[in-house]
Structures are given as structure tokens and as C-alpha cells.
Amino acid sequence: MAAVRELADSMSGAIYLPADEGYDAARKVWNGMIDKRPAMVAACSSPADVQHCVTFARERNLLLAVKGGGHSYPGKSTCDNGMMIDLSPMHAVAIDTRASAATVQGGALLGHLDTASLAQGLVTTAGIVSHTGVGGFTLGGGMGRLDRRIGLAIDNLLSATVVTADGQVRHASDDENPDLFWALRGGGGNFGVVTEFVYRLHPFDDNVYAGNIQYPIEQARHMMTVFAELEQTMPDAVNVEPYLYVADGQRMFGFAILYAGAPEDGERVLQPLLAAKKPEFNSMKPDTYSRWQTNADEYLGHGKLNYLKSGFIVELTPSFIDAFVGNYEGDELPNVWYQHLGGATSRIAGDATAYAHRDVRFNLGIDAVFTDAAETEARINSVRRYHQAMEPYMKGYYTNLNEEGAEKTWGNYGPNYPRLSEVKARYDGENLFRLNANIMPAA
Ligand SMILES: Cc1cc2nc3c(=O)[nH]c(=O)nc-3n(C[C@H](O)[C@H](O)[C@H](O)COP(=O)(O)OP(=O)(O)OC[C@H]3O[C@@H](n4cnc5c(N)ncnc54)[C@H](O)[C@@H]3O)c2cc1C
């Protein structure tokens, strides 16, 4: 207890113990399915706080969880009995318009980054829900509606400041600790606590062309076949996300579309897809990117029960399309959606960063979002069933979404794993940072 008091005295942020007021709020993470009770939550408000906490946990062999935005589906940012470092007080964003760069603290949310940069007519790739943390999002890769145009979040990362397992603050960039910088870009939270990210920003006009088009489920095969053909030559500014869901007992199929450029160009570029078959519902119109970046915030809000599996898709072949539609049958069905990759994400070598999946065109997500705990088993089974049916068409998965064992993690990083494992041994040989897609330190 004296040691905890000493730690608390050394910090500018607060420590919450189970008996403290505020503990329950502090231990919460986004997914309502996760209900863990750390022995302490350390709300860090400076890199020095993080250093103290990392040292405290290492010296006492405490299980250590690091929470950025708390959006890990399997709840990797909390733990029972150990310490949770909560980075949420560290959410400042500074925009340097001259250098076209954003300096972002490790506990900021994507909304903090988007809001600050878009206000200056600048942008970098951020995900589709604004209350997601920059931390976990970036370290796993970072996909968003602009990734085909300007690359993943890691492709725009200029540098990072990290508190490593020895309690030291290290800078990582192409020039400083380049091995660490390589590993951070896709290797997740394995290498330390990132207290600051610096991203490259791109000039950007918030006015875009966007909306949804929907068809009866019977048209899904046809429209996916048309899309598969057109998609091959679509410009990088186009982001198209097919989806399947159930509304009022009806199976629905649609495309969520965003053209990140002048609305009149978007209308022209997307005309072949829009004209292929008259949609039953069409909300395509000039819109703003900033509105799209928050329009799923409420549906995917904090505290709901969430279960998800995903996998990467290299090509929309006829047999894949058949399986995608044909398996969407039964009483209990999950949501199925895509994230559009390719473009700039594919023009980077597979070994240039730790993120190894440069050859895929889509991330296929399968999830259940619900509020009644009595539905848990049926909802989880619906996700697993559809995922199992689609797995033969998948090539690896996004470590930011799936919860998989050590062997699958190894395979998923492919030829990048041995190098990751060596970097892990150099910076975290005792595997202090293990609540993540865990890389084992090389022997
Ligand atoms: C609603 C929702 C929408 C999403 N949309 C997208 C999307 O559009 N694109 C996309 O690519 N992904 C998306 N994701 C997945 C997302 O990238 C991961 O859930 C990611 O882990 C979230 O980061 P976080 O900081 O909020 O998570 P946390 O739960 O806080 O952390 C996740 C992991 O990252 C580690 N970590 C977090 N911050 C740091 C840090 N600063 N330093 C070191 N380690 C850290 C944690 O220890 C943990 O292992 C979404 C997830 C959700 C729940």
C-alpha cells in the first residue's frame, strides 16, 4: 500500500483503487461484454506518469494493460487484478500547418485528430467511428475511408515517442530507432506505451460525394458481380463498402459509398455502379467527410454488447460472391460489412512495415451489436457460423479486430514475424506488454 501511495504521489494524474469513487467509471472499456477489475487504474497525464507506472508494474511483475481509446473488441486494454494504464487524459492534438503534420498524444481519440486537422483543411487517415483511440488504431495499421487515397494510418506516421519496458522514453522514426519504428507500424502495443504520434497531413476539402444505395437481397449477387468488375479500375478516391444486415426481419444488401473529392467528379466516377440497376434506396449526394466520420458513432456507442470476427479478402471472385450471399441465410444473422483497401495501401512493400497485408483489397467484418445479454450465445454463434463459412476465402486477418492465439498471430504476420520477434526481444524481452496480438520475444 505504501508503494501505491508513493506511486500516486509521483504522478500528476490520478490512481483509482477498487474502493475509490470513480474506479468503476475508470475501469470501463467500450465493449459492454468486457467486465474486468484491475487492481488499480492509473490515469496518466504525462509521459513521466507513464514511465512511473511502467516501472512500477515491471518491478512488481504486475499484469499490465494499456488503454488508449478502450475500443479493443476482445478487451485487450483492461485486465483482472493487474494495472491498467489509462491514457485518456493525454488527448492533445497540435497541428503544424507549415509542416503539414499533427502531433497527437497517445490517448487521443480519432475525433480529436479529425476535428483539429479538418479545421485547417488538412487530413490523415482515421477510422469510421470518432470515439476510437488513435493508439490501438494506429499501432495495428489504421484503416479508414481515405486509405486507398493516402494509405493506412501507419503509412502517414512520421514518428512516435514510446515508453519502453525499461521505463525509458524513446523516439522512433526512420532516423531514430528505425527497427522500433518499423515494428510499431502494425505490431500493435507489443513494444511499449506510445505517448505521442506524429502524422503527415494532406490538403483536403471536406466536401465529398457520399451516401448509401440499397437493393433487395435477390440483387446482391448481380450487384456484387458488377461491383467486382468496376472496382478494378475505380480511382483511389473511391471507397465502397458493401454490406448485409437484417432490418424488420428482412435481409438487406447495400453499398456505403464515399468519393473523397469534388462531388461532381464523384457523381461521374460512380455513375456506372449507380446506373447498373436502379437501387431501391439511394441517398447519394454532396455531403461532408466530417459528417461521415461521425455517423456511426451512436450505433457503435459505448457499453453495448459486441462480438466480431473478420478476415482479409484478396479478390471478389464469383465463388466468393456466391458464398458471401449464399451463406447469409438462417434465423439469426450477423451484420456483414467491408472496409475497402487496395490503392495506396497496396503500393507499399509487405516488409516495409510490420503490417504484412499489402496485397488484399478488402477487410470483411462480421459482427453482432446488441443490448440484451440473454441473446449473447445466439449472437456469438451467428457471427462464428458465418465467419466459418467465409474463412476459406480469407487470407489472414486484421490484428486490431480478431482475438486469436499465438500460433495464428505468428502466421498472420507471415515473413515479418521473425523480425518482429527480434525487436520484441530487444525492447521487451520479458513480455511486459502482452495484452495485445502478442509477439513472442526471440530466444
Ligand atoms: C466502434 C469501432 C470502430 C472501429 N473502426 C475501425 C476503423 O474504421 N478502422 C480500423 O482500422 N479499425 C477500426 N476499429 C478497430 C480499432 O482499430 C481497434 O479496436 C483498436 O484497438 C482501437 O484502439 P483503442 O486505442 O481505442 O483501443 P484500446 O482498447 O485502448 O487498445 C487496443 C490495443 O492497443 C494497445 N494500445 C492502445 N493505445 C496504445 C498506446 N498509446 N500505446 C501502446 N499501446 C496502445 C492496447 O494496449 C491494446 O492492446 C474499430 C473498433 C471499434 C470498436
**Residue 404 confidence (pLDDT):** 83
> What is the pLDDT averaged over residues 412-418?
95
- Residue 186 pLDDT greater than 90, yes or no: yes
- Residue 286 pLDDT greater than 90, yes or no: yes
Q: What is the largest CA-CA distance in the chain?
A: 71
Task: For CA atoms 50, 56, 58, 62, give the dihedral sign.
Answer: negative
- Residue 284 pLDDT greater than 90, yes or no: yes
- Whether the CB-CB separation of 153 and 205 falls below 8 Å is answered with no
**Residue 424 confidence (pLDDT):** 98
Q: How confident is the model over 211-224, as pLDDT tens digits?
A: 999 999 999 999 99
Ligand 1 lined by 44 (C-beta under 6 Å): no
**Residue 410 confidence (pLDDT):** 85
**What is 207-393's CATH number?**
3.40.462.20
Q: How confident is the model over 34-61, as pLDDT tens digits?
A: 999 999 999 999 999 999 999 999 999 9
- Whether the CB-CB separation of 149 and 343 falls below 8 Å is answered with yes
In order, the DSSP letters of 63-121 are: -EEEESS---TT-TT--SSSEEEE-TT---EEEETTTTEEEEETT-BHHHHHHHHHTTT
> What is the pLDDT averaged over residues 98-103?
98
Specify the residue with its C-alpha closest to ligand 1, atom 7: 127
Specify the residue with its C-alpha closest to ligand 1, atom 32: 136
Which residues face 83 on adjacent strands? Answer: 40, 64
**Residue 250 confidence (pLDDT):** 92
Ligand 1 lined by 45 (C-beta under 6 Å): no
Confidence label for 371 from pLDDT (cuts 50, 70 and 90): very high
Helical ranges in 327-428 per DSSP H: 376-390, 406-413, 417-428
Distance CA 235, CA 233 (A): 6
**Residue 402 confidence (pLDDT):** 85
**Residue 362 confidence (pLDDT):** 98
Per CATH, the architecture of 2-86 is what?
2-Layer Sandwich (3.30)
User: Which cell numbers hold the place of 409?
Assistant: 498471430
Confidence label for 300 from pLDDT (cuts 50, 70 and 90): very high
Q: Which atom of ligand 1 is nearest to the CA of 162?
A: 42
> What is the pLDDT averaged over residues 356-366?
97
Task: For CA atoms 124, 336, 242, 371, give the dihedral sign.
Answer: negative
Which sequence spans correspond to the domains of the chain?
Answer: 2-86, 93-204+412-428, 207-393
**Residue 138 confidence (pLDDT):** 98
The Å distance, Cα 8 to ligand 1 centre, comes to: 27
Q: Which atom of ligand 1 is nearest to the CA of 300?
A: 1
Beta-strand relationship, 40-43 and 64-67: unpaired
Mean of pLDDT over the chain: 97
Distance CA 264, CA 49 (A): 50
The angle at the Cα of 410, spanning 406 to 413, to the nearest 5 degrees, equals 140
C-alpha count within 13 angstroms, C-beta hemisphere, residue 312: 19
- Residue 1 pLDDT greater than 90, yes or no: no
Query: Is residue 2 classed as helix, strand or coil in its secondary structure?
Result: helix
> What is the pLDDT averaged over residues 370-397?
97
Q: How far apart are the first and last CA of the chain?
A: 36
Confidence label for 28 from pLDDT (cuts 50, 70 and 90): very high
Residue count of the chain: 443
Query: Is residue 420 classed as helix, strand or coil in its secondary structure?
Result: helix
Going by C-alpha positions, the residue among 19, 30, 223, 15 that lies closest to residue 110 is 30
Q: Which atom of ligand 1 is nearest to the CA of 398?
A: 11
> What is the pLDDT averaged over residues 191-208?
98
Q: Which atom of ligand 1 is nearest to the CA of 135?
A: 38
Confidence label for 266 from pLDDT (cuts 50, 70 and 90): very high
User: Which cell numbers hold the place of 14?
Assistant: 490520478
Distance CA 325, CA 338 (A): 13
- Whether the CB-CB separation of 15 and 42 falls below 8 Å is answered with yes
**Residue 428 confidence (pLDDT):** 98
Q: How far is CA 42 from CA 86, 108, 143, 245, 295, in A?
A: 6, 16, 29, 40, 32
Confidence label for 62 from pLDDT (cuts 50, 70 and 90): very high
Confidence label for 408 from pLDDT (cuts 50, 70 and 90): confident
- Residue 406 pLDDT greater than 90, yes or no: no
- Whether the CB-CB separation of 219 and 277 falls below 8 Å is answered with yes
Look at the domain 93-204+412-428 and name its fold. 3.30.465
Ligand 1 lined by 50 (C-beta under 6 Å): no
- Whether the CB-CB separation of 140 and 69 falls below 8 Å is answered with no
Ligand 1 lined by 76 (C-beta under 6 Å): yes
> What is the pLDDT averaged over residues 248-252?
92
Distance CA 105, CA 35 (A): 26
Distance CA 376, CA 304 (A): 11
**Residue 334 confidence (pLDDT):** 98
> What is the pLDDT averaged over residues 231-247?
97
> What is the pLDDT averaged over residues 398-425?
92
